[in-house]
C-alpha cells in the first residue's frame, strides 16, 4: 500500500508545467517538490529580496527587542533579514508570526514558542487571535518586522486597539533583472499550465515584466495563490479562471493546491 501511495504521489502532477514565481533564493524546495509529484517546475522569480536602503532604524529596533511586549514577523523574509540585525535573543518579548512558515523559522532559530494563527496566513487571521485583541494589547508596545512599504492593516488595527506600534523594515522588494523572452515564448505556445504566486507585488511584477504584448496568455492560464485577497487582485487584473487558494503559504500546501487544480483539469497536458 505504501508503494502504491508513493506511485500515486509521483503521478499527481504528471505533465503539469508550473511557473514558480518565488524569489530565487526560496524557490528550490518548492520546485523540487513539484518535480517529485511528476510536474515540471519552471523557476521565474518576479521579486528580489534585498537589503533596505537605510537599515539604521531597523537595526536599532532589532537591538532592543525586549523593549516590546510583542514582536510580529510578517513573513519568512522578515525572519531571515530581521534576525540578521538582532544582537542578542530577547528574554521577555513574545514572538508572533503571521504564518506557519515564519513561525517555524523563528522556532528553528531558538525563539519559540511562537504565537501564530491556527489556520490561515494573513493579517486578518492574526488579528482574530484573542492575544491581539483590544483587552490584550492596549497600552503595550508592539514591533512589526516587515519589508519596506508593507501593508498597513496589521499596524493600523493594533493602533486602534490601543497598542503603540513601531516598524522595523528589514528588507525591500525589487524587480529582478531577468531575461523574460523564454517565459513569454513558452506562455504563448501554451507550455505553462499553472502559475504559483505568493504576493500581490509579485503578481503585479509578473505582468509588468512580460509587458502589455505578452499578458494575454497570463489571463488564460491557471493560478495557485496564498490568500483570498490575492485571488481578488488576480481577478481584477483580468485573470479569467478563479485561482485556487492554498490553505497556507508553505510548499506542501502549495503543492496540495496544485493537485486540486490538476484534479479540476484532468484532460490538461499529461
Residues 6+ apart with CB under 8 A from 137: 69, 70, 158, 161, 162, 163
Radius of gyration of the chain (CA): 20
Q: Which of 144, 208, 197, 143 has its CA nearest to residue 174?
A: 208
CB count within 10 Å of CB 6 equals 10
Q: How far is CA 218 from CA 13, 22, 158, 184, 212, in A?
A: 20, 17, 37, 9, 11
Whole-angstrom distance, CA of residue 36 vs CA of residue 205:
28
Higher pLDDT: 131 or 10? It is 131
DSSP string, 49-80: EE--S--HHHHHHHTTGGG-SEEEE-SHHHHH
DSSP 8-state assignment for residue 115: B
pLDDT at 6 over 70: no
pLDDT at residue 254 above 70?
A: yes
Q: How many alpha carbons lie under 13 Å from residue 59 in its C-beta half-sphere? A: 6
Local confidence band at 5 (pLDDT 50, 70, 90 cut-offs): very low
What values do phi and psi take at 58, rounded to 5?
A: -65, -40
Mean pLDDT of the chain: 91
Asked whether the bond before 180 is cis by omega within 30 degrees of 0, the reply is: no
The DSSP symbol for 26 reads G
Q: pLDDT grade, residue 151 (50/70/90)?
A: confident
Q: Looking at the domain 52-173, which fold is it?
A: Rossmann fold (3.40.50)
pLDDT at 34 over 50: yes
As separate numbers, helices (DSSP H) first and strands (DSSP E) second, the chain gives 13, 10
Considering only residues 58 and 119, tell me which one the structure prediction assigns the higher pLDDT.
58
CA 215 distance to own-chain centroid: 23
> Using one digit for the tens of pLDDT, what is the confidence trace for 65-83?
999 999 999 999 999 999 9
Cβ-based neighbour number of residue 191 at 10 Å: 15
* Contact partners, residue 52, CB within 8 Å, separation at least 6: 58, 148, 169, 170, 171, 172
Amino acid at each position: 500500500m505504501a508503494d502504491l501511495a508513493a506511485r500515486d504521489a509521483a503521478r499527481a502532477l504528471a505533465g503539469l508545467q508550473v511557473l514558480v514565481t518565488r524569489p530565487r533564493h526560496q524557490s528550490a524546495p518548492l520546485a523540487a517538490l513539484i518535480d517529485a509529484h511528476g510536474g515540471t517546475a519552471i523557476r521565474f522569480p518576479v521579486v528580489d529580496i534585498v537589503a533596505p536602503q537605510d537599515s539604521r532604524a531597523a537595526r536599532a529596533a532589532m537591538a532592543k527587542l525586549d523593549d516590546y511586549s510583542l514582536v510580529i514577523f510578517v513573513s519568512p523574509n522578515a525572519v531571515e533579514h530581521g534576525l540578521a540585525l538582532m544582537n542578542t535573543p530577547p528574554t521577555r518579548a513574545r514572538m508572533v508570526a503571521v504564518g506557519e512558515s515564519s513561525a517555524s523559522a523563528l522556532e528553528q532559530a531558538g525563539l519559540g514558542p511562537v504565537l501564530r494563527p491556527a489556520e490561515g496566513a494573513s493579517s486578518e487571521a492574526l488579528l482574530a487571535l484573542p492575544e491581539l485583541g483590544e483587552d490584550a494589547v492596549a497600552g503595550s508596545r508592539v514591533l512589526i518586522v516587515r519589508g519596506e512599504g508593507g501593508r498597513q492593516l496589521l499596524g493600523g488595527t493594533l493602533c486602534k486597539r490601543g497598542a503603540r506600534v513601531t516598524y522595523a523594515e528589514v528588507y525591500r522588494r525589487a524587480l529582478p533583472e531577468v531575461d523574460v523572452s523564454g517565459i513569454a515564448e513558452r506562455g504563448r505556445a501554451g507550455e505553462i499550465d499553472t502559475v504559483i504566486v505568493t504576493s500581490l507585488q509579485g503578481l503585479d511584477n509578473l505582468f509588468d515584466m512580460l509587458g502589455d504584448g505578452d499578458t494575454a496568455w497570463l489571463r488564460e492560464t491557471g493560478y495557485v495563490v496564498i490568500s483570498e485577497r490575492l485571488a481578488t487582485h488576480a481577478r481584477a487584473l483580468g485573470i479569467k479562471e478563479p485561482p485556487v487558494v492554498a490553505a497556507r503559504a508553505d510548499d506542501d500546501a502549495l503543492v496540495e493546491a496544485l493537485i486540486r487544480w490538476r484534479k479540476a483539469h484532468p484532460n490538461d497536458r499529461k
